[in-house]
Amino acid sequence: MVNMKKVFVSGCYDIVHGGHIEFFTQAKKYGDYLIVSVANDKVLEIHKDRKSSLPVEHKVRLLKAISIIDEVVVGDGLEPGLDFKEHFLRIKPNYLVATEDDKFGEKKKKLCAEVGAQYVVIPKTLSYEKISTTEIINFIKAPKQIPLRVDFAGGWLDVPKFSRNGGYIVNCAISPLVSLSHWEYEIKSGLGGSAAYSVLMGKNAVETELNIGVGWQDPAIISETGLCVWRSGELPVLEMKINPSFLLGKMTLYWTGTTHSTPDNTNRARDYDLIYKAGIIAADAIFYKQFEKLWEAVKLSYRAQLQEGMSALPDFGEIAKKYCGGGWGGYALYIFDNVIERDKFLIQKNTKKIEPYIANNIKNNT
């Protein structure tokens, strides 16, 4: 190893993926001999607040099998960001290479100064989609099947800029369930499909929805299930949850024939006072189990949609109806007095039977 330029990198490498291989490849270009320090299990638990997906011995074996890596050491120091310090001072490498998002950069620069090493920052560059270890773990943990949702009243009050103190959003999870491989519904249809996809992919769906300028109600009810009353606000706060069995045999979807886009409709003029009122009535219907008032709230929500400029929906003998979600296309929710009337409606084209859904393993207020 005389006159060899030694390059040192460190990380948790909890699940080795393509981004790591690219990082090792770019780091190796700075020298002849690449040393990789992998944090031990205790370091991961303390500083990443999670258990290791593999025992460190397995990670060492995997890393040693990568041909561009010349040496693997285990970092067991407890100083944040410098678990590898003892090895680094012993080896005295020529370079310490880190990625551009390394939050311990300043500490690593000072460590380099102790041995005369050069601190090098390289960008994360991939020709394919980037993914982190955390994202991989979240994807593995993500549910395989989840419900979509229908909303009864208070829609738009979950969008932070439209939220109101004392306001409520009332919605319900529905079946059939969806998965990445099985999706029985139309897309862009007002049932929370984009949020459902984020949940299935293991992403923070509330954050994802808020980032595109819409509200949080879809991921909230999809994850919670049941029939829920939420407080209007910047983030979801569950006020009450009940078993929605009283809705069995009463709900149907009607496809309007066109897709809709909630982000495109967010800034339309609408009557938020009427939406607020509908949410209050719907919440009271659930609080006091006076479910006929829920139909009143749905009708009021529909009136607000008509005032916004949406086309009138056809009548089929329902007790209440409204466009799902932000409306302007997509599905409409039709509610009937009983299963016989509901099933008569299903003879019509572009209809779909749905039922309320509550996960068996989740406790709920009844």
Query: Based on the domain organization, do 62 and 160 belong to the same domain?
Result: no
**What are the backbone angles phi and psi of residue 319, rounded to the nearest 5°?**
-95, -20
- DSSP 3-state assignment of 164? coil
**pLDDT score for 109:** 96
Query: Contact, 67 vs 25, CB < 8 A?
Result: no
Query: Based on the domain organization, do 57 and 119 belong to the same domain?
Result: yes
The string of pLDDT tens digits covering residues 185-205 is: 999 999 999 999 999 999 999
**pLDDT score for 131:** 73
Inside any domain, residue 204: yes
Query: Based on the domain organization, do 96 and 211 belong to the same domain?
Result: no
From 103, 137, 171, the end of a domain falls on: 137
The string of pLDDT tens digits covering residues 267-285 is: 899 999 999 999 999 999 9
Inside any domain, residue 117: yes
Query: Based on the domain organization, do 210 and 295 belong to the same domain?
Result: yes
- Give the residue-averaged pLDDT of 104-112: 95
Inside any domain, residue 346: yes
What CATH number should be reported for the domain holding residue 330?
A: 3.30.230.120
**pLDDT score for 14:** 85
The string of pLDDT tens digits covering residues 234-253 is: 999 999 999 999 999 999 99
- Give the residue-averaged pLDDT of 111-121: 96
- Of residues 265 and 362, the one with the higher pLDDT is 265
**pLDDT score for 135:** 82
- DSSP 3-state assignment of 254? strand
Inside any domain, residue 184: yes
Query: Contact, 363 vs 225, CB < 8 A?
Result: no
Query: Based on the domain organization, do 172 and 274 belong to the same domain?
Result: yes
Query: Based on the domain organization, do 262 and 330 belong to the same domain?
Result: yes
**pLDDT score for 237:** 96
Distance CA 261, CA 264 (A): 5
The rounded mean pLDDT for the chain is: 92
The token pair that represents 166 in the structure block? 């004392």
Structural domain boundaries enclosing 85: 6-137
**pLDDT score for 127:** 64
- How many domains does the chain contain in total? 2
- Please say if the pLDDT value at position 366 is more than 80: no
Distance CA 91, CA 338 (A): 77
Q: Secondary structure of the chain: what % helix, strand, coil (to 5)? A: 35, 20, 45
Query: Based on the domain organization, do 202 and 338 belong to the same domain?
Result: yes
From 137, 157, 177, the end of a domain falls on: 137
pLDDT bracket for residue 128 (50, 70, 90): low
Distance CA 343, CA 327 (A): 24
Query: Based on the domain organization, do 95 and 163 belong to the same domain?
Result: no
Inside any domain, residue 366: no
Query: Contact, 37 vs 75, CB < 8 A?
Result: yes
**pLDDT score for 362:** 40
**What are the backbone angles phi and psi of residue 57, rounded to the nearest 5°?**
-60, -35
Distance CA 265, CA 244 (A): 29
Q: What percent of the chain has pLDDT over 70?
A: 96
Inside any domain, residue 55: yes
Query: Based on the domain organization, do 146 and 132 belong to the same domain?
Result: no
Inside any domain, residue 1: no
The token pair that represents 362 in the structure block? 């989740």
Query: Based on the domain organization, do 221 and 103 belong to the same domain?
Result: no
Inside any domain, residue 363: no
Any idea which residue has 């994850």 for tokens? 223
- Please say if the pLDDT value at position 43 is more than 50: yes
Query: Based on the domain organization, do 127 and 147 belong to the same domain?
Result: no
